């Protein structure tokens, strides 16, 4: 993380308007203020804070590149409209008119600072997110911004329609059962890192395609042993499989007090037990960093490390790391559920998707590819 990002995170510590902070400063000690700031950051989540810091740094860099000055508070309506014009534009029009969209000088300045990567218009979701942060920063400062003005709302709506950019997936390819098996084949030794990665992959997939932040912050007290179940439901006296309940803390779609949990059965439980027995972890984070000498750390694995691990395993398995990311576990779970004929509501119960539309995107693709609808010619 750059010093600019670190500065941005410090700036985000003020979650209250200035007037409210001034009043609280008269009655709260510095230690109490620090505690509340820590809770605000923890409640936001490390990935969200990282994104907020990055977006704030981008806004500041864009302002300097396009106007020659830092962000002005409150923002002018024309500045926000300029931001929309620079980031949401029509690629076909750009081919006819090179001046359309972001000016070349602005783009070159942002690229030189490693702030701009896109060569075309930005994703609408990215622009909306940065505008939302910009607006929130006004509220936190006790200022009235222009973001609700009809001119800005209409400009954003029309610009998104003109850009007509399809939404890209977080992971180009789903990590389905066949991919998981290839990744697991690279975890065949009894080394600490292999035992950890095997348990992480199986648990993340088997529990419904958990997000990398959810699996990284998993703790021992989130795990609850349940009674074994028959491997074959029709043979209750046959082989039994271990069962584990995983309590879900705060997620992208639910709060920690929702009391939700998911069940994992069989291989993921066995792999987790093997990792915990080897590491002798009895409390605290389940998945932890491991150095090159095999020493296991005391803190939780960083969510970014989950993504890096998957890409590293893909490379070892002869797969293209650019095609896969941690989110591929989530899409892969639903894709595999469709292939296995698991009803969508049952699959969503495990994945904890709230949106049927979003879940069905993955589920239906797997189902359609196996059916007759796409084979009429």
* pTM (predicted TM-score): 0.59
Over the stretch 33-53, which tens digit does the pLDDT of each residue have?
Answer: 566 566 555 665 666 666 777
- Write down the pLDDT at residue 4: 42
Which carries the bigger pLDDT value, residue 22 or residue 244? 244
For residue 268, pLDDT over 60 is answered with: yes
Helices and strands counted in the chain (H then E): 17, 3
Share the mean pLDDT of the chain: 78
What is the C-alpha to C-alpha distance for residues 232 and 239, in angstroms, rounded to an integer? 8
- 165 confidence band (pLDDT: 50, 70, 90): low
**pLDDT beyond 60 at 345:** yes
| pLDDT tens readout for residues 129-149 | 889 888 888 887 778 889 888
pLDDT tens column, 216-246 = 889 999 998 888 888 887 887 888 888 888 8
Over 90: is that where the pLDDT of 272 sits? Answer: yes
Higher pLDDT, residue 317 or 257: 317
Tell me the pLDDT tens digit for each residue of 180-227. Answer: 999 999 998 889 999 999 999 999 888 887 888 888 889 999 998 888
Q: How far is the C-alpha of 64 from the C-alpha of 213, rounded, in Å?
A: 33
Instruction: Pull the structure tokens for residue 225.
Output: 């042993």
Ranges in the chain annotated CATH 1.10.443.10:
177-370
Q: Tokens representing 198?
A: 């095997």
CATH architecture of 177-370: Orthogonal Bundle (1.10)
The CA distance from 227 to 222, in Å, is 17
Please determine, for residue 80, whether its predicted confidence score (pLDDT) is greater than 70.
yes
Q: How far is CA 297 from CA 4, 40, 46, 193, 300, in A?
A: 28, 26, 19, 12, 8
| pLDDT, position 9 | 39
Query: At 304, phi and psi to the nearest 5?
Result: -65, -30
pLDDT tens digits for 93-109?
787 888 888 888 988 99
The model's pLDDT over 350-377, given as tens digits with 9 standing for 90+, comes to 766 666 666 666 655 545 555 565 555 6
Token pair of 333 as six digits: 């779970």
């Amino acid at each position: 993380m750059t010093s600019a990002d670190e500065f941005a995170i410090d700036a985000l510590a003020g979650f209250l308007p200035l007037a409210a902070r001034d009043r609280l400063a008269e009655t709260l000690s510095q230690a109490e203020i620090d505690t509340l700031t820590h809770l605000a950051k923890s409640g936001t989540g490390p990935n969200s804070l990282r994104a907020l810091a990055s977006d704030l740094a981008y806004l500041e860099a864009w302002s300097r590149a396009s106007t020659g000055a830092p962000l002005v508070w409150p923002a002018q309506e024309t500045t926000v409209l300029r931001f929309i014009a620079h980031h949401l534009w029509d690629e076909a029009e750009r081919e006819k008119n090179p001046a359309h969209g972001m000016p070349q000088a602005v783009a070159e300045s942002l690229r030189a600072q490693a702030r701009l990567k896109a060569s075309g218009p930005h994703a609408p979701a990215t622009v909306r997110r940065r505008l939302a942060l910009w607006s929130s920063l006004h509220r936190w400062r006790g200022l009235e911004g222009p973001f609700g003005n009809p001119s800005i709302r209409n400009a954003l709506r029309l610009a998104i329609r003109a850009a007509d950019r399809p939404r890209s997936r977080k992971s180009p390819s789903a990590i389905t059962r066949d991919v998981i098996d290839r990744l697991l084949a690279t975890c065949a030794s009894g080394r600490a890192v292999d035992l950890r990665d095997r348990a992480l992959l199986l648990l993340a997939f088997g529990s419904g395609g958990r997000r990398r932040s959810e699996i990284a912050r998993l703790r021992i007290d989130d795990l609850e042993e349940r009674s074994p179940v028959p491997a074959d439901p029709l043979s209750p006296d046959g082989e039994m499989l271990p069962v584990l309940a995983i309590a879900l803390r705060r997620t992208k779609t639910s709060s920690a007090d929702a009391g939700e949990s998911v069940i994992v059965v069989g291989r993921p439980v066995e792999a987790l037990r093997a990792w915990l027995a080897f590491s002798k972890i009895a409390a605290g984070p389940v998945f932890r960093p491991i150095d090159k000498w095999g020493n296991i750390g005391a803190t939780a694995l960083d969510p970014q490390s989950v993504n890096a691990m998957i890409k590293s395993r893909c490379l070892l398995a002869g797969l293209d790391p650019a095609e896969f990311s941690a989110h591929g576990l989530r899409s892969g779970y639903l894709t595999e559920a469709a292939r296995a004929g698991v009803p969508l509501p049952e699959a969503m119960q495990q994945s904890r998707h709230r949106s049927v539309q979003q879940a069905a995107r993955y589920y239906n693709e797997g189902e359609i590819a196996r059916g007759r609808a796409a084979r009429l010619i």
